[in-house]
Amino acid sequence: MSIETVSETKCFGGNQGVYKHDSEATGTPMTFQVFVPEHREGEKLPVLWWLSGLTCTHENAMIKCHYHEACAEHGIILVGPDTSPRGPDLEGNEVPDDEAYDFGQGAGFYVNATQEPWSKHFHMRSYVEEELPALVAENFPVDMERQGISGHSMGGHGALTVSLRNSGRFRSTSAFSPIVSPMNCPWGEKALSNYIGEDRADWREYDACALIEDGARIDHLLVEQGRADNFLDEQLKTWLLEDAVREAGMNAAISMQEGYDHSYFFVSTFIAEHIKWHAERLKA
Amino acid sequence: MSIETVSETKCFGGNQGVYKHDSEATGTPMTFQVFVPEHREGEKLPVLWWLSGLTCTHENAMIKCHYHEACAEHGIILVGPDTSPRGPDLEGNEVPDDEAYDFGQGAGFYVNATQEPWSKHFHMRSYVEEELPALVAENFPVDMERQGISGHSMGGHGALTVSLRNSGRFRSTSAFSPIVSPMNCPWGEKALSNYIGEDRADWREYDACALIEDGARIDHLLVEQGRADNFLDEQLKTWLLEDAVREAGMNAAISMQEGYDHSYFFVSTFIAEHIKWHAERLKA
């Protein structure tokens, strides 16, 4: 598997790179970003996966999230994929200009679509669970025994569900403003019914709360949610996750932050704390 | 003078606001951003002016610069104006879509244009030196006795020249990747000949090196420049400022940083150090 370097820029002593490759999972070119802190020759570093939210590409987090300083301080590589396959002529992209912000391009929901026409390209689950990790392991100085995962909004849903389905792979899991139960909100219902079909039993593997109900567990979980987030009541519904972890007896820290909204201004305020929390578990 | 609130967002415990007003200096609506850290009721805080570079609006720095944490830590208000008047029907805007990135909209160069058609609206010098400070003093909890100024690229030129022309107003002046001598680079020659006319004697008040040669001084100056900046040799020419301050016997710290380019990835790496340096002078 070969990758093409789009750009590499020095930041906090490390390298913020953007790379492109032909994905087998999606059948399209895919772009992703990797920040590699300064490190000793031959050293392998822990890796933190960052999954982004609706409308984002690989680029939003690398500009807005402000993870560089903390990743440099703690010696953690951060990898951020795009949020969907893309292309103006993408087969299965019924709206070429992708007018919907919450479905299709920029809104892959980290699922493997089973429904036509999406089933041809929209395989973001395989992409982030299998193809990208293998590619990153081959091309960057990562220690795959020390992985953490995080993300924002739809990417918080991604981080939770990828971690819950892959027990033991991630030493630490966190999320900002996650969609905690796509089965129970308009964004999720639109995405899952179109990508996965009408049988709601098939949706459960893409719903953090349902996965926990069905027995999946995360050992170390940290969630940050702003109380002034205007998607909280209708889409994010943090309390459903609070209920699920309580009923499961699962150890989780879910912090509600007064006055913060859904933006990266919120994420950037708390990202250094999250990275420190991941570092404590990844470097223990 | 009244201002309209475009948005206010909590960030690092403070408020990142975007505001709009009808400017007398430019004769157009102008947008600017202000970050106000958490502070005691009635407390007035030092203010740091941030001037942005070519193509930027008020928005680039607030997303990419990562000043919030350091401003919150040190209790400093940061204000960032737009880089030019704007408008699709802007009189004097010969190219409606403003195809040139280095002239016209997004490239006001912090001058008062004297040449038609620019002389009607392009009065960014008056805007940043007079109108905006008065507006900010009236509407935000700033202590105008404690002002610092900084900026990036064209905005670094702005910070240097505004400070040099207003002796004693700023307790601290810094710049990232500044255009140190517009009289001696293609960006500057294009801007000054069109905005100010062909008489190069008139350009000297808009050229940091010429201002220093002509006797202007800055007491506390800090400059950061990346050695891998691809504009360094042709446009920025940091050595001209090094020569000017040496000949003037002026105290200045000019740091050349190995491997860093012209981007906000460079600025964000060193912004906390600069804000700490400003804070030491603004709070002394």
Contact between residue A161 and residue A191 where contact means Cβ atoms under 8 Å apart: no
Active centre residues of B (catalytic): 153, 229, 262
Greater model confidence, B93 or A53: A53
Predicted confidence (pLDDT) per residue in B140-178, tens digit: 999 999 999 999 999 999 999 999 999 999 999 999 999
- The CA distance from B160 to B217, in Å, is 10
Predicted confidence (pLDDT) per residue in A234-246, tens digit: 999 999 999 999 9
Clarify whether A153 is annotated catalytic.
yes
- For an interface test with B, the pick among A62, A78, A265, A267 (most B C-beta atoms closer than 10 Å) comes out as A265
- Residues of chain A positioned with their CB less than 8 A from the CB of B12: 268-269
Residues forming a β-bridge with B77: B47
The alpha carbon of residue A62 is apart from the nearest alpha carbon of chain B, in Å, by: 9
Do A265 and B64 make contact, defined as CB atoms within 8 angstroms? no
Among the partner-chain residues A9, A68, A265, the one whose CB lies closest to the CB of B16 is A265
The alpha carbon of residue B21 is apart from the nearest alpha carbon of chain A, in Å, by: 24
pLDDT surpassing 60 at residue B94: no
Model confidence at B269, pLDDT cuts 50, 70, 90, reads very high
- The CA distance from B165 to B18, in Å, is 28
Token code pair at residue A195 = 């990508």
- Residues of chain B positioned with their CB less than 8 A from the CB of A6: none
pLDDT surpassing 90 at residue B96: no
List residues of chain B with CB under 8 Å from any CB of chain A.
9-13, 16, 63-64, 66, 68-69, 226, 228, 259-261, 263-266, 268-269, 272
Among the partner-chain residues A12, A261, A264, the one whose CB lies closest to the CB of B10 is A261
Among the partner-chain residues A10, A11, A260, the one whose CB lies closest to the CB of B10 is A260
- For an interface test with B, the pick among A66, A225, A262 (most B C-beta atoms closer than 10 Å) comes out as A66
Buried b (16+ CB within 10 A) or exposed e, B116-153: eebebbbbbbbbbbebbbebbeeebebeeebbbbbbbb
Predicted confidence (pLDDT) per residue in B49-72, tens digit: 999 999 999 999 999 999 999 999
Do B9 and A263 make contact, defined as CB atoms within 8 angstroms? yes
Contact between residue B122 and residue B27 where contact means Cβ atoms under 8 Å apart: no
- pLDDT tens for chain A, 284 residues long, are 689 999 999 999 999 999 999 999 999 999 999 999 999 999 999 999 999 999 999 999 999 999 999 999 999 999 999 999 998 666 655 544 556 889 889 999 999 999 999 999 999 999 999 999 999 999 999 999 999 999 999 999 999 999 999 999 999 999 999 999 999 999 999 999 999 999 999 999 999 999 999 999 999 999 999 999 999 999 999 999 999 999 999 999 999 999 999 999 999 999 999 999 999 999 98
The alpha carbon of residue A270 is apart from the nearest alpha carbon of chain B, in Å, by: 8
Chain B's closest residue to A13, CA to CA, is B269
Among the partner-chain residues B69, B259, B272, the one whose CB lies closest to the CB of A10 is B259
Residues whose CB falls within 8 Å of the CB of residue A263, separated by 6 or more in sequence, listed in order: B9
Catalytic residue of the set A58, A121, A262, A278: A262
- The CA distance from A89 to A104, in Å, is 13
Model pLDDT, residue A87: 84
Predicted confidence (pLDDT) per residue in A45-62, tens digit: 999 999 999 999 999 999
- Residues of chain B positioned with their CB less than 8 A from the CB of A265: 9-11, 16, 68
The alpha carbon of residue B238 is apart from the nearest alpha carbon of chain A, in Å, by: 20
Model confidence at B92, pLDDT cuts 50, 70, 90, reads low
- Residues of chain B positioned with their CB less than 8 A from the CB of A260: 10
- The CA distance from A239 to A70, in Å, is 29
Do B10 and A64 make contact, defined as CB atoms within 8 angstroms? no
- The CA distance from B144 to B142, in Å, is 6
- The CA distance from A97 to A89, in Å, is 10
- Residues of chain B positioned with their CB less than 8 A from the CB of A228: 10
Model pLDDT, residue B46: 98
**For chain B, percent of residues with pLDDT exceeding 70:** 95
Do A268 and B66 make contact, defined as CB atoms within 8 angstroms? yes
- The CA distance from A21 to A245, in Å, is 38
Do B265 and A68 make contact, defined as CB atoms within 8 angstroms? yes
- Residues of chain B positioned with their CB less than 8 A from the CB of A9: 261, 263, 265
Q: Torsion over CA of A245, A246, A247 and A250, rounded to 10 degrees?
A: 50
- For an interface test with A, the pick among B66, B230, B273 (most A C-beta atoms closer than 10 Å) comes out as B66
The alpha carbon of residue A139 is apart from the nearest alpha carbon of chain B, in Å, by: 22
- The CA distance from B249 to B283, in Å, is 26
Residues whose CB falls within 8 Å of the CB of residue B15, separated by 6 or more in sequence, listed in order: B8, B9, B35, B36
- For an interface test with B, the pick among A9, A69, A71, A262 (most B C-beta atoms closer than 10 Å) comes out as A9
Model pLDDT, residue A176: 98
The alpha carbon of residue A153 is apart from the nearest alpha carbon of chain B, in Å, by: 17
Question: Residue B133: which of B34, B246, B244 has the closest Cα?
Answer: B34
- The CA distance from A274 to A254, in Å, is 12
